A and B are shown apart, each in its own frame.
Chain A
Amino acid sequence: MAVVAARSRKAKEALMAYAMLAPLLAVFAVFAYYPFYRLFQFALFQKFSNSDEERFVGFQGIWDNLSSDEFTSGLWTTLKFMLYTVPAGLVLGVLLATAAHRRLKGIKIFQTIFSSTIASSVAVSSVVFLTLINRQSGFFQNVEFLNLERTGSALRGVALSSVWQNIGLTFIIVLAGMQAIPEEINEAATLDGYGPIRRFFRVTVPMISPTLLFLAVVLVVQALQAYAQIELLTLGGPQGSTETLLYKITELQSRTDLQTGASFALGLFVLTLLISVGQFVMLNRRVHYDN
């Protein structure tokens, strides 16, 4: 009897659990798992505009797209965009957090100012940067380094608006990382005769390195997803020099382009996957090191 009762209680608990997961899983089934399957479906079959006919192109077809100049140039632009935004974001975050992590009257005001750019969406920050780097009227219109109308520099101009937009996020996260460092560690380092600079490099930076790794991944993923800033500042130009992978994908939405678009999207997925796995491995290694 008791066994039966326990079993039925277990079954009831499982049913309850599935019921509570059902709404979430339903949304994911239709808008995450199914589209993932569909990306493969699109990528494996070439459609033709004039008929319902489809031709199976297989993984060779996907690979052909991923080794095309179009994909590699998009990939290269995306990687360059990362290179412009991620290190700058980390350095600015550490700089601002170091300056604002101290006991001073009114420090909260400065902390609020440094956090404030998080209120700006990508679209808003792009428009904001038009006032600075627009070639006809921007405050820095003559700065060739950020020239939006030259192939060599346009991406840097776009990236700068993202760097600024990310200041709030990076500052908040790095500051929280610094505040979590136990005070005794800094005291001990001071007693050992560490000056402020040595303390920064030997204590602060190692202690916040997991935070910085987390932040780096957030910034990398944001770079992979950059879109609005490109559409608003350069429309991918000049001569396609600011077309990131995602930007190219959005241009490949017509029926006949789906095979290419889906292949590119799968390429973007693999990139996201590699970065996430990389983060996981590095975090795990660090945990082992701690133990």
Chain B
Amino acid sequence: MTTEPTPTTESTPTRRWRNLGWYVLLTALSILVLFPVYMTFIRAISGGAASLFQKKPSLLPVATDWSSFIDAFREGNLGAPLLRSLLVTAIIVVAQTVTSTMAAYAFAFLEFPLKKVLFALIMGTLLLPIEVTLIANVQTMFDLDLINVTDPTFGRTLTALTIPFLATALGVFLIRQGFLGIPHDLLDAARLDGYSDMAFLWKIAVPVTRPIVGSFIVISFLGAYNQYVWPRFAVKSNDYDTIQIALRNFLTDNPNQLNWGFAAALIAAVPVLVLLLVFQRQLVRGLTAGAVK
């Protein structure tokens, strides 16, 4: 599938010079892309005062203080929000995968009345992201006592953070696409062999479409871990913040220690960076599923 431009039949020295040119350009672009991260690192290890006022911008650390990463982690209590974020993310990813897979199976393999209507209704939720329904969902959470300003328990907060995201139309769409590639004869044969729908789904359909399910899991993780708007309004106690909100609170609570905030931002990005490096293929496939025919 991957096609790189064909190397032309030009002489070796010319090609070598041209390649050198590309390397120079690619390196320059890399520096441009990485510069903000580099500066964040430099400012994180610059002393507290230097992070506040610095009239002459410097490319190198000022009053180097390597302890800010440890200080930020300790002062900001970042360990707990990191773990909470991973827990919230795990719940959302597992639930979305299960609900999406089952719905995708119904649409790909089964016949039932109102099939088209239900599919349209489900895809319609893509027009109702949490940003649009925010006000109403916050009220519903108050009604259900899942957002409680005076007594925001861990259980309430965890439920409020996860329950609106236990299903997603994107997952149904992606996994259904994968299932549609499985010949219907395979289902008929499995049924003759005594497979139930559930057995066929989990023992044959899902393993066969593993790459697509894997891609969905990676983008689901990315979305859930990086969420900001909903946790910002669903969490009513700093004790139950997710890492993104903890980062925000830590930054605004310590206006005199911006270096801590910079270190905390880098710490918050680590889990996704690890995920990106390990599951690069799945991520790319998941992101491009809708873009490239």
Contact = CB atoms under 8 A, between A and B. Distances in A.
Query: What does DSSP make chain B's interface, helix, strand, loop or mixed?
Result: helix
Interface stretch (A56-64, A82-90, A106-114, A150-158): A106-114
Contacts of A104: 19, 22-23, 26
A: interface residue count bin = 35 or more
Nearest to B140: A35
A110 B26 contact: yes
A122 B226 contact: yes
A179 B2 CA distance: 5
B137 A35 contact: yes
The winner among B99, B232, B266, B272 for most chain A CB atoms within 10 A is B99
B269 A272 contact: no
A125 B37 CA distance: 9
Given A16-B110, A24-B167, A173-B287, A124 B269 contact: yes
Contact of B269 (A39, A120, A187, A253): A120
B247 A124 contact: yes
Contact of A228 (B7, B40, B229, B269): B229
A253 B137 CA distance: 11
B33 interface: yes
Given A35-B140, A127-B262, A177-B291, A24 B103 contact: yes
B40 A276 contact: no
Nearest to B39: A131
B128 A269 contact: yes
Given A114-B29, A114-B30, A246-B131, A182 B247 contact: no
B167 A253 contact: no
B174 interface: no
A90 to B, nearest CB: 13
Nearest to A133: B36
Given A120-B269, A131-B43, A177 B34 contact: no
B103 A20 contact: yes
A231 B232 CA distance: 11
Contacts of B284: 115, 172, 176
Interface string B93-119: 000001110110110001111010010
Nearest to A30: B140
A79 interface: no
Given A99-B26, A115-B280, A269-B127, A122 B8 contact: no
Contact of B247 (A103, A118, A127, A261): A127
Question: Nearest 3 A-B pairs (CB), nearest first?
Answer: A35-B136, A121-B226, A14-B112
28 contacts: A21-B103, A25-B118, A27-B166, A28-B167, A33-B125, A35-B137, A36-B133, A99-B29, A103-B5, A116-B34, A116-B276, A120-B269, A121-B225, A123-B245, A123-B265, A131-B39, A136-B53, A139-B57, A139-B59, A173-B287, A176-B287, A180-B293, A183-B6, A190-B6, A190-B8, A227-B131, A250-B229, A261-B135
